[in-house]
Structure 1
Amino acid sequence: MSAPKVIAGFTLGPVVHRGGMAVLREVTHPEHPGPLLMKMPKLAEGEDPAAIVSFEMEQMILPRLTGPHVPKCYGTGHEPTPWIVMERIHGGSLLPYLKRLPRDPAEVAHIGAMTADALDGLHRQGVVHLDIKPSNILRRGGEDGPVVLVDFGLSRAAMLPDLMEEEFRLPYGTAPYMAPEQAMGIRGDPASDLFALGVLMYFFLTGRRPFGDPQRMSDLKRRLWWDPPPPRALVPDCPPWLQEVILRCLEPSPEKRHASAAQLAFDLRNPGAVALGPRAERLRRDSWTRRLQRRFHPEFQPQLRRKAAALPQRDAPIVAVALDLEAMSPAMSSALLDMVGRVLAIRPNARVACLNVLRTNLLRPDSTLDREGRNKHLQRLLELRHWSAPLALPEYRLTHHVLEAVTEGGAILEYASQNRVDHLILGAKTAGITQRMLGSIAGEVARDAPCTVTIVRVREF
């Protein structure tokens, strides 16, 4: 009988859950009494590369979180596969509640208040969850225990790089619960979590999702101007104060929602203190003409906060270094490290982003696995990490990005433009006949980049 597999001292047990992007396994460790879970991203053929990037986000965020509303983290690592070990929360999620909907208004208010408590604890640590839904809300010790939030792969932390925003242009989240500003690509506003909680309370109270389950971007953006039926139209027993609170959470403009999760929790626990307005009295949706006005007239459009309004501005430059992992010689590797070191000596507060482009085919489908059955995206990330190790920078100042694109130069330029890169470093390839005829990637980047570009060349002897 073969010995159990061990990763970093943790002995792997059976799989307890397979999610859309990750797998959870029981683990044990002689120094930690447990119970423990190890989370690992799914790396099979055809898996979305966002699963790996979001996992990296969770590896950065979870160890920094404390308090009763998050699972305790016992360690993270990248080899032989990315992993996170955390405490196992016994008590289950809110997902089984969906089998018995609608729920009593008092129970909905209780669940909402406890979830708002957890969000308040998270927001006070500078983190916005951005994927609040029943499966990510656990009850520690059962139905009477405090709420614990899990799955921070799509989250945004104020003092950490946002890899999801930097690498992907489309919004990520769970469509029925996604706030309008999140659908528009604005991440990092705590009010987005309040919107998602409003969706959850509406769903639990009425048995219907306020905006359905959109499958297209156009349907997702409809919540900017399309109002749902008031809860009291579906559940006559819904008290006006609870409708007031829920519809306030579902306001398209973040400024019109509660100012904080703590204030939302207070309202849910103190119905008599809720100021009733037109929302509380509504019994039907707005007319088509009113909705069309919101849809087409700018003065009715919600005032969505700019990205910079929700999070502090970065006060340090971004230095990006593009690496050709397949053709880079040891001499070029050393020269690029030396150049990055020189730039850091001049700009000591700079953040370094290590880039590699995984080329994709224009017409035929791509395989996500290499000949050895390993995930290509993950292998490139590991190579970038090994290359950058001599820089000895903390993780909030050193990030790694594998950009999947048809052309290398275009991918590098788009990254530099979208992420306001200040200084771009890349190596020059040996000039061959193809480069002489078509031009080099370095030349294309140097010509079109919106920032300073340094091209490193290794002298050939």
Structure 2
Amino acid sequence: MMPVTAAPGVVPVGGEVLPGYRVEALLSRGGRVDTYDVTSLERDCRAVVKVVRPDRLDDAHVRAAVRTEGELLTTLAHPHLVRGYEMVTAPAPAVVLETLPGATVAALVDDRCLGVADVALLGRQLASVLGYLHRHGWVHLDVKPDNVVVQEGRAILIDLGLAARPGRLERGMGTDGYAAPEQDAGGTVSPATDVWGLAATLFECVAGAAPGRDPDLSRVPVRLRPLLAACLQAEPGRRPSLDVLRDRLDSLVAEPPRELRWWSRRRR
């Protein structure tokens, strides 16, 4: 991730965003948090800090979301989930994360659409980590190519800033193009909501763009078309379960590759 131009209220390079975390660059300024590339003085290594923006400190919902993300990433562990080092509550709620060298899936797709074999492997890895979150009673709610980093053939899911328990959700929580219809509408979210997000991500990998509400499945390779069509049903109850999705992806992964496998080897 490349640093962005500093904005008012951010900690300058060389300053400490948290005690013991020296800023190397501001990576991004979101609507709720600032994300910094830092050096951890205690660990003597680089890390990433996501901290509530100074102008959002009075927002209890934002503070709670960052605390939830920190609690999840420092207590849950999975090979396809970004690792959290620690959660900090003062001077501002923040979570300290491992640095992930590699490219996001969004960056890879900008270069070239992926083949079916690589998309199946990517989907299988994401189904594994999403299933892990679901079994612990959480839904991710923001699965998209920008939130998956590829590191030497391993897909790593990041950004649990929207993670929530299944149930009613405030309207509009999610990313346009990847949020399921019930998420956009402020309805009841469930593991089926993440099935949509995963399918939308895989759709973009093969078609070059998010599916939208009326996906053009003619852009999807025939071997993937029935599966993605089922996962992108408007009604959550008509989507396959994550277990069914996993099994179908396993079948595709097991097939002899029909195209050059490049996703796991590019942009190391």
Alignment TM-score > 0.5, same fold: yes
Question: Against the structure 1 CA distance between its residues 42 and 268, is the aligned structure 2 distance closer, same or farther, given a 3 Å change threshold?
Answer: same
- Equivalent positions of 1:119-198 (< 5 A) are 119-139=130-150, 141-142=151-152, 144-145=153-154, 147-157=155-165, 165=169, 169-198=170-199
Quote how far apart the aligned CAs of 1:12 are: 1.5
Aligned to 2:205: 204
Deviation of 1:207 (Å): 2.2
Give yes or no for contact 1:136–1:150 (8 Å, CA) kept in 2. Answer: yes
Instruction: Name 1:234's counterpart in structure 2.
Output: 219
The answer to whether structure 1 residue 11 and structure 2 residue 5 are counterparts is no
Matched, 1:264 2:249: no
What's the CA shift string for 1:7-65, capped at 9, x where partnerless? 664232212511423222233445435432211123349x9986545324323433232
Q: Distance in 2 between matches of 1:272 and 1:108?
A: 9
Letter in 2 for 1:257: R
Q: Match for 1:228: what amino acid?
A: P
Q: 1:69, CA displacement in angstroms?
A: 2.1
Supply the distance in 2 between the matched residues of 1:110 and 1:118 (Cα, whole angstroms).
13
Q: Aligned ranges for residues 105-120 of structure 1 at < 5 Å? A: 105-120=116-131
* Distance across 2 between alignment mates of 1:87 and 1:187: 32
| Cross-structure match for 1:87 | 98
2:234 pairs, out of 228, 243, 252, with: 252
Q: Which residue identity lines up with residue 226 of structure 2 in the other structure? A: E
Offset of residue 187 of structure 1:
4.6
AA of the residue aligned to 1:149 = L
Higher Cα Rg, which structure: 1
Query: Contact (CA 8 Å) 2:34, 2:53: kept in 1 or not?
Result: yes
Q: Residues of 1 paired with 2:47 and 2:211: CA distance?
A: 36
Identity of aligned residues (%): 27
User: Does 2:17 align with 1:36?
Assistant: no
Q: Equivalent residue of 1:175, what SS? A: coil
Listed one character per residue, the Cα deviations across residues 328-347 of structure 1 (whole Å, up to 9, x for unaligned) are xxxxxxxxxxxxxxxxxxxx
Following TM superposition, by how much is the alpha carbon of 1:153 offset from its aligned partner in structure 2, in angstroms?
1.3
Tell me by how many angstroms 1:234 deviates.
3.0
2:232 is aligned with what amino acid? L
How many angstroms does 1:154 deviate by?
0.8
* 1:103 maps onto 2:135 in alignment: no
Contact 1:56/1:153 (8 A) holds in 2: no
In the alignment, is the contact (CA less than 8 A) between 1:249 and 1:257 conserved in 2? yes
| Counterpart mapping for 1:413-424 below 5 A | none
Higher normalized helix content (fraction of residues): 1
Computed over aligned residues only, the root mean square deviation of the Cα atoms, in angstroms, reads: 3.1
Residue aligning to 2:4: none
TM-score by length of 2: 0.76
Superposition pairs of residues 66-85 of structure 1, within 5 angstroms: 66-85=77-96
**How far apart are residue 101 of structure 1 and its match?**
4.3
Cα distance, 1:256 vs structure 2:
2.0
CA contact under 8 A between 1:136 and 1:151: conserved in structure 2?
yes
Kindly tell me: are residues 122 and 20 of structure 1, through their superposed partners in 2, closer, same or farther at Cα, counting changes over 3 Å?
Answer: same
Please state whether the residue corresponding to 1:111 is helix, strand or coil: helix
Compare relative contact order (CA 8 Å, sep 6+) and give the higher one, 1 or 2.
Answer: 2
* TM-score for the superposition, normalised by structure 1: 0.47
